[in-house]
A = this chain, B = another copy of it.
Amino acid sequence: MNNKEVIDRHKPVVLIIGGGFAGINAARALKHSNVEIILVDRRNHHLFQPLLYQVATAVISPAEIAAPLRQLEERQNNLSVVLAEITGIDLQARAVEAQVEGGGRRSHSFDYLIVATGAQSTYFGHDEFAEFAPSLKTLTDAEAMRAKILRAYEVAASTEDPSERSRQMTFAVVGGGPTGVELAASLATMARETLRGNFRSIDPSQSKIVLIEAGKRILPQFHESLAVKAQEHLERLGVQVLTNASVEHIDEQGVVIGGNRVECATVLWGAGVTASPILKMLGAETDRGGRVIVDPNLRVPGNRNVFVVGDAASIVQDGRPLPGVAQVAIQSGSFAGRVIASELEGRQMPKAFSYFNKGNLAVIGKNYALLERNNVRMSGFFAWIIWALIHIAFLPQLQNRLRVEVQWLYTYATGKRGSRLIPERPEHRHA
């Protein structure tokens, strides 16, 4: 009944957990190998995480940065996608147990396991903040954040109490890394340009946006000279940047920093990530961030057939762990795939994994970016053009590329944003 081969049980099985950058690149590296690849994810889509903040700020819509994982089955004959949640890993028996979509548990045996489960947001022990300060890791997160931001303006527009209006029009972004900086700048652009003229009773350009960083400067990944430029540009956009500012408390009314309360209805969390709890099932040694410490071939020490890659792995190079960025995920995932292919084909094994840093990029608002590669440092419009070209080239599908181009051109030309939707709340059923 099928137009494709059924899974061949006699070939070695490579089981990949996670369909992010690391997972799909591991699969791709095994495309021409005589293996059966099973890719397990609990979402049916690969997500282009670097642009999530644009969904959160209504620049683009979810489908534009997500691609169905199923399409991989079409492109790669030796791969099957399984939509399921991993509930157990048995390294001895070489099997994982998964809760399959639609009910029922299923066990999958493997010959090789590649764990690419990525990272999730962390509130550094303050999980109670999560209720008031949403974070940004999934499409669901981004849509919830977008609705929260747009609702704040609606409430501001409908209230007649000036202090409540000002509270609704104050936005705090926690975390001065790329996510926080991109979010704060995009919020500022939204307030000063996109929403301008959309409300008669309020002036969105009067919004107050505060970026809160606990460290002594924003963007520690970049050279200090670029971070200074970034802060200047943020301030030009109307973002107030607070450094050395530790968040002590967050509730419905606002955020407390150094004993001072900032009254704000919307707090967005861009502060920290931690590894997926699935990693605990491996019983391996982890670093402070919960990431599994791997050997130079990205294997779990003592388990020749188990690899951890991407944000889930603590890969030490030149004495420091590599950052949780897309490039590390892509390169490490691909490397693990190549190690397995070499071993199976009896070819010479690749040398130890070595990350090639193609450079750091961060975008600040509509047409300003930072770019750093080795000793080359750029900031401004030209860096933004490079950022835009790289991101368009990277988007996983032709279709998305076309659509994001159209969207960006449109946003750029008109200052309008196309995805300003507040989803209906489930309890609303009439009118």
The one of B64, B101, B203 that contacts A155, using a Cβ cutoff of 8 Å: B101
Contact B421 A45 (CB under 8 A): yes
A:390-424 near B, CB below 8 Å: 397-400, 402-403, 406-407, 410, 414, 416, 418-424
Contact A74 B399 (CB under 8 A): no
CB neighbours of A430 from chain B (8 A): 120, 276-278
Complex alpha-carbon distance, A117 and B416, angstroms: 28
Contact B403 A43 (CB under 8 A): no
Contact A198 B424 (CB under 8 A): no
A:35-53 near B, CB below 8 Å: 42-45
Contact B68 A151 (CB under 8 A): no
Instruction: State whether the Cβ of A63 lies closer than 8 Å to any Cβ in chain B.
Output: yes
Complex alpha-carbon distance, A5 and B199, angstroms: 10
Complex alpha-carbon distance, A45 and B58, angstroms: 13
Contact A140 B424 (CB under 8 A): yes
- Copies of this protein in the complex: 2
Contact A410 B418 (CB under 8 A): no
The one of B103, B203, B431 that contacts A120, using a Cβ cutoff of 8 Å: B431
CB neighbours of A68 from chain B (8 A): 198, 420-421
Contact A101 B154 (CB under 8 A): yes
Contact B44 A422 (CB under 8 A): yes
Contact B399 A418 (CB under 8 A): yes
CB neighbours of A200 from chain B (8 A): 2, 4-7, 73, 80
Q: Mark A254-282, 1 if CB is under 8 A from B, else 0.
A: 00000000000000000000001110000
Instruction: State whether the Cβ of A158 lies closer than 8 Å to any Cβ in chain B.
Output: yes
Instruction: State whether the Cβ of A150 lies closer than 8 Å to any Cβ in chain B.
Output: yes
A197-B74, A203-B3 are contacts. A400–B418 as well, Cβ < 8 Å? Answer: yes
The one of B117, B159, B201, B402 that contacts A6, using a Cβ cutoff of 8 Å: B201
Contact B428 A42 (CB under 8 A): yes
A1-B203, A83-B158, A201-B80 are contacts. A420–B44 as well, Cβ < 8 Å? Answer: yes
Instruction: State whether the Cβ of A118 lies closer than 8 Å to any Cβ in chain B.
Output: yes
Instruction: State whether the Cβ of A196 lies closer than 8 Å to any Cβ in chain B.
Output: yes
Q: How far does the Cβ of A115 sit from chain B's closest Cβ, in whole Å?
A: 10
Instruction: State whether the Cβ of A138 lies closer than 8 Å to any Cβ in chain B.
Output: yes
Complex alpha-carbon distance, A358 and B15, angstroms: 58
A:1-46 near B, CB below 8 Å: 1-7, 17-18, 42-45
Q: How far does the Cβ of A341 sit from chain B's closest Cβ, in whole Å?
A: 21
17 A–B contacts, CB within 8 A, in A order: A1-B206, A2-B201, A3-B203, A17-B431, A42-B424, A45-B421, A63-B418, A80-B201, A85-B431, A139-B424, A140-B424, A140-B426, A398-B410, A399-B407, A399-B414, A403-B403, A403-B407
Spell out A's residues near B (CB within 8 Å): 1-7, 17-18, 42-45, 61-64, 66, 68, 70-71, 73-74, 80, 82-86, 100-104, 106, 117-118, 120, 138-140, 143, 150-151, 154-155, 157-159, 168, 195-203, 205-206, 276-278, 397-400, 402-403, 406-407, 410, 414, 416, 418-424, 426, 428-431
Q: Which 9 A-B residue pairs are closest in the complex by CB-CB distance? A: A102-B155, A61-B63, A70-B198, A68-B420, A276-B431, A63-B419, A74-B197, A100-B158, A83-B154
